[in-house]
Structure 1
Amino acid sequence: MSRNNAGLSRERILIEALHIIAGRGLGGLSMRRLGDALEVEAMAIYHHFPLGKEQLFNSIAAYVASPSPTGAAFHDEVGQDGEEQTEVEEQAVADERPWDQRLTTWAEAYRERLLTYSGALSLLAHRAPRTPNSATTWALMRHAFDEAGLAGEDIERAADALHSYCIGSVVHQVRHSGHDDEDALDAREWAARFRFGLRSLLRGLV
């Protein structure tokens, strides 16, 4: 087995870790197994995640929960301040579509990402990582709900409700999928139910 570390990056490690989780569950992920899958020594992974498995789990959670509303590349464990925060705000207000369309686009992308990496959903129950993408999402929601007429703490409450709906709907779908049931819903119907609930939620929030 080749143990060439060339080309090893945090994102490559995270993607391979998610492949292992999809096949073996969270309990099947170990640094040694991850190193074997990447064809590197396990210590090469610690070079990118020096704090070990917990840091890796935090970064997996960030990766799963960070769809970019702007198409920007993913970065994890990076704070936002100064000029970076200004850029985030500018990205959030650049989209001139109606507020509900902007939030619908984000919610559908978030749902698809959570479904793609559903094996790691349990990590989100205990981790709420802050990343540039999540900061951009918060700015998008703040401006959208402000445009819809909300103010103050109601904006934060609405954002929490939207996040909770997306995660809860995916958990519900995953829990009721994959069974040999002739009455099981197909992907199209699950998507239709998500959109119905999303429209109802956004109307109710404002």
Structure 2
Amino acid sequence: MKQTNKREPLSRERILSAALDIVDREGLEAISMRRLGQALGVEAMSLYNHVPNKAAILDGLFETVLAEVPSAKRAGTWQVALRERAQALRKALRTHPNTLPLFATRAAVTPGAIAHVEAVLDTLRNAGFSPDEALSALQVLMAFVVGHSLSSYAPQPDDARSHPAYQQLNEKDFPRVHEIARVLDSHDVEKEFELGLEAMMTGLEANPARRKPARK
């Protein structure tokens, strides 16, 4: 009996999975409809039945990475809930460092991505933050997680890297820079991240807007 190989049907999920694989290996600049079509073994035009344009692919990549952040668990306090989500997001960004520019420049626009925004806002509102203060807290938290992850993990081409020669500076003029230069190689950026996250939780807890639980 003659066997036939059935090709997996094209879908938005399959396209986005292929797009993320390309970005992980080659970077965001490698994404195009033609490149995706080649990776999936289809004509580029057939992709438009599932994703209208490249912007939709980038928005979908944003959503796909966020999908690796676990759904919110019942936490004892809002601080614990926010800390766990921040740590989970950092882990997802560390896994897919080539997607970091998306999180630094794009908003959540798909329902799947907005669901994560909703979860954080709900945590803050139930903790007593006003809508405006909840928005500010969300924005600041995202800026910290994404910004610190960018500085820690964003890949750079070899010909774009700078290698500051701190040790060659005049120590009399830059004594503190010389001090930190001696510990740079052993500096733990994960502990640094946790220090910043803890400071942010302390600051949010002291926010005067957090007075009464939000009414449901």
TM (norm. structure 2) is: 0.68
Mapped to 2, the partners of 1:191 and 1:199 lie a distance apart of 12
**Structure 1 residues not aligned, in runs of 5+:** 71-91
**Higher alpha-carbon Rg:** 2
Letter in 2 for 1:173: S
Structure 1 107/178 Cα, relative in aligned 2: closer, same or farther at 3 Å? farther
Letter in 2 for 1:19: D
Say yes or no: does 1:52 pair with 2:53.
yes
Letter in 2 for 1:99: W
Mapped to 2, the partners of 1:175 and 1:30 lie a distance apart of 21
| 1:117 positional shift | 1.9
Structure 1 192/25 Cα, relative in aligned 2: closer, same or farther at 3 Å? same
Aligned residue for 1:127? 106
Q: Contact between 1:5 and 1:44, CA under 8 Å: does it hold in 2?
A: no
Give the aligned length: 180
Aligned residue for 1:157? 136
Mapped to 2, the partners of 1:35 and 1:154 lie a distance apart of 44
Q: Contact between 1:21 and 1:120, CA under 8 Å: does it hold in 2?
A: yes
Once the two structures are superposed, residues 115-151 of structure 1 have per-residue CA deviations (whole angstroms, 9 ceiling, x without a partner) of 2222122233432123344443333323433454433
Mapped to 1, the partners of 2:7 and 2:46 lie a distance apart of 7
State the Cα RMSD in Å. Answer: 3.2
Q: Contact between 1:34 and 1:42, CA under 8 Å: does it hold in 2?
A: yes
Q: Contact between 2:152 and 2:189, CA under 8 Å: does it hold in 1?
A: yes
Mapped to 2, the partners of 1:154 and 1:57 lie a distance apart of 29
Structure 1 69/22 Cα, relative in aligned 2: closer, same or farther at 3 Å? closer
Aligned residue for 1:141? 120
Structure 1 176/196 Cα, relative in aligned 2: closer, same or farther at 3 Å? farther
| 1:68 positional shift | 4.6
Aligned residue for 1:33? 35
Letter in 2 for 1:100: Q
Once the two structures are superposed, residues 138-181 of structure 1 have per-residue CA deviations (whole angstroms, 9 ceiling, x without a partner) of 33323433454433422211111111111011101024899899
TM (norm. structure 1) is: 0.71
Q: Contact between 1:69 and 1:136, CA under 8 Å: does it hold in 2?
A: no
| 1:205 positional shift | 1.6
> 117-126 or 160-169, which moves further after superposition?
117-126
Structure 1 174/141 Cα, relative in aligned 2: closer, same or farther at 3 Å? same
Q: Contact between 2:104 and 2:146, CA under 8 Å: does it hold in 1?
A: no
Mapped to 2, the partners of 1:41 and 1:125 lie a distance apart of 31
Q: Does the residue aligned with 1:128 lie in a helix, a strand or coil?
A: coil
Aligned residue for 2:177? none
Structure 1 165/148 Cα, relative in aligned 2: closer, same or farther at 3 Å? same
Say yes or no: does 1:190 pair with 2:184.
no
Which structure 2 residues correspond to residues 73-88 of structure 1 after superposition, within 5 A? none
Aligned residue for 1:84? none
